[in-house]
A and B are shown apart, each in its own frame.
Chain A
């Protein structure tokens, strides 16, 4: 890299005062940091800190409301992915961005603006093989369909694609979240080698051990702003967590008057396994308590919930509700046994967005509001009034389409649908407040707490520390498909975060 292609401070890429808002939410408020050529620069922060928005602006997926991005000596305007690519910026997106219906070779070429208009198999074949070897995919054929590969292998293909674009900056947004240790090790080696060749690397990760091992400097973001950029030699896991959380006290409190073991056992799960996602998972839930499975993306927390709800055909588990066995992998059987599930994707797996609030709320209890199969208006109105009251919704909006409500109110309808029913024994919620603002969040937490007080058993998964501390009586932390530890109250938030991001390793076992 010649010095002419760097900024005054010797940095290859520099962002200054980046600002981005979505509606009334300010996702990023003034982010500034720089990455030197050959540097592996980590970007850390708790959920909602603004990391992903910064990545989107750097990769040409979002246009900043303010601030500048410099690549080399010049200020660039990254209007689209193509412009960003032309500026030498390659991206491994947080969500898997390869096409399952294409072959490995076709995916490696996909979107590459330098690719020729005619496929040249002979000349590119050798380059592809080298790329695949670099990420440990020597055994994969170039003509294999991606749909024939596992999730980890697909992720590695996407990484190989980004590394093969001869970029000046490679952005990796949580590249190892879905990978095994062996697969991750290949990614580390490949990332180190592109950095050694003079390329700048921006590495976003929730796995703090990996951050400390791999990177040269770490920029921590909190609430949309940069807290600090620190050389990795001056950091430990604990100081990093402190930067991420700030000084505010974070503790899982033991709620007064709650004896965790005091009530009747409702749901018991033993030996739950999801091939490639969850090793084995056991948990026993008691009536009137709120339990949480805490883990980052790819930890298996979400898979545990989906498996209990019968939504994972490949899962095996011994599940009983009130002592009665529930066959795994059959959603209808799970519902019949009293297990209700609230997905983290309310648009695709929950609500009928173009139907009124009233229809959505009563959709799961039609037998209770009908007589001989015909809707009974009086029962319908009574049930609706009770539910609207229970959920704290505005009764005047019962006739509005759910799609017109705010995210928070949509989620209230989704959760409310499962409440006040005698047939629901266990309520499972996968990330119950995803995309919900602070006010809506508090209301949903109150709703769940209230349901537990009435005797329902609640189990939710979350990546959000605040939520875990606010809501849960018992937290089970998960890391890489394995349960790390169970916390029955009185645990510091930093301990939970450490286990979620770093696994069970104790301080003495670590390098730092």
Chain B
């Protein structure tokens, strides 16, 4: 990989974030009393499986230059539908969740693309509505899933470190990475996030693509909710805002730009793995939970500063001054680089 390519934010940020956390994880025995076991790695992938699809769903809409706040609502509804429709056979539950996710994405995408609405308010309204709907479906109570065979299956250990659940999540990341980097759909998705007017003039079907992205986001978050319900053997009507915050942090750590057009699923994978590792480190080292929050806050602060356009123009200005200062012979006594 060339130095220029490594310097791009969507490669640099997740590499740095994942590299730092992997190092911290590997060195855990050196600075705590805790030893590391293969179970800790397995656990990290379980945390990844819990939040990964949510981060992927949000990340895809961010790459397209939008922001889907409703992912957590769809996640909750997907989990609840899985439990309620899947008592007889898990496939019915899975199907109900995925269909609901697709329908939610279709409606939101249609509104956003068709009426040229900003995605924040639309998806915020959907988020609130979906939480309400989920509560209504469950009567506000946590619902248990009685098919223990499925619960045992999704979390059983595979190849020492994985479970079927984490492998499915990983597989979806790889699929998304392939679609985004190797297909026309992926190229156009990044294009509409980078410059929507230019894409339209170039002949990209912007509106269709936006609807498709929201459908993908809905399906992925619903699926994430389903897998979590299978794993826990229950569904909670309100997962809170924590998953959304963590997913957004993972997307930013993964090098996805808030302004759109930049990012890829492998970067996202790096971002969410960094989050999962950190959570596991805090658990193993028995550190207080606030350490995670402070660490994330610091990390996000650094990323935002690196991405700031004003910092960029200040650097350009400084460079111009320095160049002008060296190329122009300065009058006697004058500071090099000072303006005349």
Residues of A at the B interface (CB closer than 8 Å) are 61, 81-82, 85, 91, 93, 95-102, 106, 109-113, 115-119, 143, 145, 148, 161, 313-316, 318, 325, 327-329
Contacts and interface: CB of A to CB of B under 8 A. Distances in A.
Contacts of B257: 101
Interface string B226-263: 00000000000000000000000000000001000110
Nearest to B262: A101
A81 B195 CA distance: 16
B182 interface: yes
Top-7 shortest CB links A-B: A111-B203, A111-B202, A101-B194, A101-B261, A99-B194, A313-B317, A97-B198
Given A61-B201, A111-B202, 14 more contacts: A81-B202, A82-B203, A97-B198, A101-B193, A102-B187, A102-B194, A109-B184, A112-B203, A113-B203, A117-B183, A118-B182, A325-B339, A327-B339, A329-B317
Nearest to B188: A110
Contact of B320 (A99, A115, A329): A329
* Interface of B, helix, strand, loop or mixed by DSSP: helix
B339 A99 contact: no
B316 interface: yes
B261 A119 contact: no
Nearest to B205: A82
A167 B187 CA distance: 22
A110 B317 contact: no
B32 interface: no
B264 to A, nearest CB: 11
Interface size bracket, B side: 35 or more
A61 B202 CA distance: 11
B8 interface: yes
20 contacts: A85-B203, A97-B195, A97-B198, A100-B194, A101-B195, A101-B261, A106-B190, A106-B191, A109-B187, A111-B199, A115-B184, A116-B184, A117-B183, A118-B184, A143-B5, A145-B8, A313-B316, A315-B320, A318-B340, A329-B320
Contacts of A82: 203, 205
A215 B23 CA distance: 65
B175 to A, nearest CB: 14
Most buried by B among A93, A101, A115: A101
B6 to A, nearest CB: 13
B314 interface: yes
Contacts of B8: 145
B201 A93 contact: yes
B185 interface: yes
A386 to B, nearest CB: 36
Contact of A325 (B181, B187, B201, B340): B340
B316 A102 contact: no
Contacts of B89: none
B187 A110 contact: yes
A118 B183 contact: yes
B9 to A, nearest CB: 11
A97 B200 CA distance: 9
B156 interface: no
A81 to B, nearest CB: 4
A99 B316 contact: no
A81 B203 contact: yes
B185 A110 contact: no
A113 B193 CA distance: 19
Interface in B1-43: 4-5, 8
B259 to A, nearest CB: 9
Nearest to A83: B203
Given A97-B201, A97-B202, A161-B202, A117 B320 contact: no
Contacts of A98: 195, 198, 202
Contacts of A119: 181-184, 187
Contacts of A318: 339-340
Contacts of A111: 188, 199, 201-204
Contacts, number: 102
A512 B147 CA distance: 89
B313 A81 contact: no
A110 B203 CA distance: 8
Contact of B317 (A113, A143, A314): A314
Given A99-B261, A161-B202, A106 B187 contact: yes
Contact of A110 (B191, B193, B324, B339): B191
A254 B204 CA distance: 52
Contacts of B4: 148
Contacts of B340: 318, 325
A318 B328 CA distance: 13
A393 B187 CA distance: 49
A106 B313 CA distance: 27
A99 B191 contact: yes
Contacts of B190: 99, 101-102, 106
B317 to A, nearest CB: 4
A96 B197 CA distance: 10
A117 B184 contact: yes
A121 to B, nearest CB: 9
Contacts of B184: 109, 115-119
B203 A313 contact: no
Nearest to A85: B203
Contacts of A81: 200-203
Nearest to A84: B203
A329 B262 CA distance: 29
Contacts of A316: 320, 324
A115 B187 CA distance: 11
Nearest to B204: A111
Contacts of A314: 316-317, 320
A314 B319 CA distance: 8
A48 B191 CA distance: 31
Given A101-B261, A102-B191, A313 B198 contact: no
With a 10 A CB-CB cut-off, give which of B183, B198, B201, B316 has the most chain A CB atoms: B201
B182 A110 contact: no
Contacts of B5: 143
A97 B199 CA distance: 7
A117 B183 CA distance: 5
Nearest to A82: B203
A135 to B, nearest CB: 17
